[in-house]
Amino acid sequence: MGYKEEITQDIAEIMTDLEVQPILFVGSGISQRYFKTPTWQGLMKLLVKKCPELNKRKFAFYEQQYKSDNSTDYTLMASSFVEIYSNWAWETMDEDDCIFPPALFEDNAKKQDYIKYVVSKYFEEVTNSIDLESNDHKDEIESLRKIKPHAVITTNYDGALEVIFDEHQKIVGQQVIRANYTSYGEILKIHGCYEDSNSIVLTHEDYEYFNEKKKYLSSKLLTYFAEHPLFFLGYSLNDQNIINILSDIDEILASKGELVPNIYMVIFDKEFSESNNYSKEKLIALNENKSIRIKVIYANEYDWVYDAIAQLSPKITVSPKLLRSLLNRTYKMVTSDIPKRELPFNFKILSEVSNDDSKLLTLFGLGTLDNGQHINASFCYTLTELATKLGYDGWYPVHALITEISKEKGINIKDSDNKYHLRIKSGINSEFRKYSQEALDLLDKVKNNLPYELDMS
């Protein structure tokens, strides 16, 4: 089996076990690849070139000031530019060619507003120039769109992801912390967006403030990290943004250096070849005392990776806008309307729904009762629900028990429909899995090292 086939199969197993759509965590490397946006260094060069006072010196001068151990702290460089940009703005405010709008010279204006305005205008121009039809990576981007992610999280300022996933709703900056996480189909722009220059995380002070608040962000994202396949795209292994996020949640995701099986980082390798012996996982140091082990995927072209992630996505899906509307309305009904009795509800039906999942589909007009009642009675657990019943915090230990049975008995209960397991089609090219009380009893015996028999009749 070749490398691509192995990765594709591994992703399929995770997607099948978790039974949910993936989360994409997208970094600047994706916009650099598809829309030629600058690196951190390139952005600082652009800011030097834009400002006459800064442009008096070669860029190498500024790099020398902030270089240590062969790396440059561009956040400190951006901070040093704030004062110079502010002085330039005020010196030119009355000139005809002043590039800054009058609003930035009002009493509530802040020093950093001027440099962030220039950054936001640049990424506005990038976003407005995006044409997917003429893009050099048109086919690859089309494969990306087919993933149909549950949500996208990004540190990018530009609006490229809003163009690619045009039915997803963007949530910017601090709004992410206050967002309703029962929702679906969102682009969470945790470092801000060009449309709101104040939201942009750019300077050293911005990053310090972000890091102070990131624990609140991490708690909001924990459900995503724990329950969905998660793919990092456009980041390097040592990206500080990723390390900071993972460091806050690694104790919940894994312990003692164990592999977190549902987190993948896609790494660009210019010399990629299937004949290379690539490691399938990587231990990432979070600090002197902590590390986390995640899966890695190497590629120089991303279409096959996107196709692997999208392989179980339904060919025809309900609009994310419609799903968000349904979720938000249901959330409001449950948290506000019903407790306040502001609407004339039939509480008998609500009581039935709370005790029988199949009734919920009927309530929303999405299905009939007969088949759903039978399945729900006989196969009443998802993999995650089995984990809860068995006393685990996540689904993966249950997956490990099923693998143990397969090794001992030579039969994987998930390979067929049987008394323990049932596959249910949910679309042309998608399915989900349910497990029976017999499966729970079986797994409980395996967990406790008790003798058991496998009945596949």
Q: Are residues 196 and 92 in the same domain?
A: no
Are 224 and 291 contained in the same domain?
Answer: yes
Q: Which residue has the tokens 């978790």?
A: 18
Task: Output the six-digit token pair for 239.
Answer: 């990206």
DSSP letter at 132 equals G
Q: Are 323 and 185 in contact (CB under 8 A)?
A: yes
Q: How far apart are CA 270 and CA 268, in angstroms?
A: 6
Single out the residue of 310, 324, 316, 305 nearest to residue 425, CA to CA. 316
- Domain boundary, last residue among 93, 128, 163: 128
The pTM is what?
0.75
155 domain-assigned: yes
What's the confidence (pLDDT) of residue 370?
44
Q: Please indicate, yes or no, whether residues 44 and 88 belong to a single structural domain of this protein.
A: yes
In this structure, the answer to whether residues 78 and 146 fall within a common structural domain is no
Q: What distance in Å separates the CA atoms of residue 192 and residue 176, rounded to the nearest whole number?
A: 10
What is the pLDDT, as a whole number, of residue 178?
A: 64
E strands, 34-89, where?
67-68, 71-72
Question: Alpha-carbon dihedral of residues 205, 209, 211, 217, nearest 10 degrees?
Answer: -150
- 219 and 328 share one domain: no
> Does one domain contain both 177 and 296?
yes
- Please check whether residue 289 lies inside any domain of the structure: yes
Residues 201 and 217 in one domain: yes
Domain encompassing residue 9 = 3-36+132-310
Does residue 325 lie within any of the structural domains? yes
Shared-domain flag, residues 24 and 80 = no
- For residues 17-51, one letter each, b for 16 or more C-beta atoms within 10 angstroms of the residue's C-beta and e for the rest, the string is bbbbbbbbbbbbbbbbbbbebbeeeebbeebbebb
Asked whether residue 190 is domain-assigned, the answer is: yes
Tell whether 410 and 335 lie within a shared domain: no
Q: Do residues 167 and 201 both lie within one domain? A: yes
250 in a structural domain: yes
Asked if residue 350 is part of any domain, the answer here is no
Instruction: Note the pLDDT of residue 316.
Output: 46
DSSP 381: B
226 shares a domain with 295: yes
Count the domains in the chain.
4
Write down which residue in 109, 128, 147 finishes a domain: 128
Helical residues (DSSP H) of 356-435, grouped into ranges = 357-363, 369-378, 383-389, 396-409
Same domain for 261 and 208, yes or no, is: yes
Is 456 contained in some domain?
Answer: no
Residue 57 CB neighbours (<10 A): 10
Residues 283, 257: contact at Cβ < 8 Å? yes
Considering the domain boundaries, does residue 359 fall inside one?
A: no
pLDDT tens-place values along the chain, 457 residues long:
789 999 999 998 888 888 788 999 999 999 999 999 999 999 999 999 999 999 999 999 999 999 988 889 999 999 999 999 999 999 999 998 899 999 999 989 999 999 999 999 999 999 999 999 999 999 999 999 999 899 999 999 999 999 999 989 898 977 776 655 556 788 999 999 999 999 999 999 999 998 887 777 777 777 777 788 999 999 988 888 888 878 776 666 655 667 888 999 999 999 999 888 999 999 888 777 778 889 999 999 999 999 999 987 755 455 666 665 666 666 666 556 556 555 555 555 556 655 665 555 555 555 543 444 455 567 888 888 898 899 987 788 888 899 999 999 999 998 888 999 988 765 555 567 889 999 999 999 999 999 999 988 7
